């Protein structure tokens, strides 16, 4: 009887471990919000989307207000076209801005919406006109190194 109780406890422990593993996997895959609330679609165009992925969160003031539903390339302008599904409860002014931001130094990227001051709101299927592309770390390092090399070159040419 005691052996059976131990086996039951071990089985419960294994099941709890598997449930914890599934939770962590869903959290890592950005699938933990199972909300089926009403949403409306917005579109934003970016010159560079960096590592933004579909299902990435859309945040305003740090609060998740929606998700990225799709990312495509406009064949005429060669811009990334990002489609957002925003919760119906959150209405943003027409002059709002969208930025691609990074969670932490090397974290996942997400869309940040900064509300504007216009009285009229973005309509469903509206376009966010003001956008700021992703900051690519490699480009920043390249610009820094190029600037340092240019500074070193002008310092070497200066008369002594």
Rg (C-alpha) for the chain, rounded Å, is 23
Phi, psi of 10 (to 5 degrees): -65, -40
Q: How many CB atoms lie within 10 A of CB 143?
A: 10
pLDDT digit string, tens, across residues 110-149: 999 999 999 999 999 999 999 998 877 777 788 888 876 6
> Measuring CA to CA, how many Å separate 17 from each of 11, 43, 132, 147?
10, 41, 42, 52
Residue 34 has pLDDT above 60, yes or no: no
């Amino acid at each position: 009887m005691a052996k059976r109780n131990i086996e039951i406890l071990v089985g419960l422990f294994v099941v709890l471990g598997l449930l914890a593993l599934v939770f962590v996997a869903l959290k890592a895959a950005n699938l933990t919000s199972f909300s089926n609330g009403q949403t409306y679609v917005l579109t934003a165009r970016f010159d560079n989307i960096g590592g933004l992925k579909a299902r990435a969160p859309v945040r305003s003031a740090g609060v998740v207000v929606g998700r990225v539903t799709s990312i495509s390339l406009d064949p005429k302008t060669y811009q990334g076209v990002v489609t957002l599904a925003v919760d119906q409860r959150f209405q943003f002014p027409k002059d709002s801005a969208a930025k691609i931001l990074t969670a932490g130094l090397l974290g996942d990227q997400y869309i940040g919406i900064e509300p504007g001051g216009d009285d009229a709101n973005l309509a469903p299927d509206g376009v966010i006109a003001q956008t700021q592309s992703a900051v690519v770390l490699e480009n920043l390092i390249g610009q820094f190194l190029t600037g340092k090399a240019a500074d070193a070159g002008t310092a070497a040419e200066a008369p002594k």
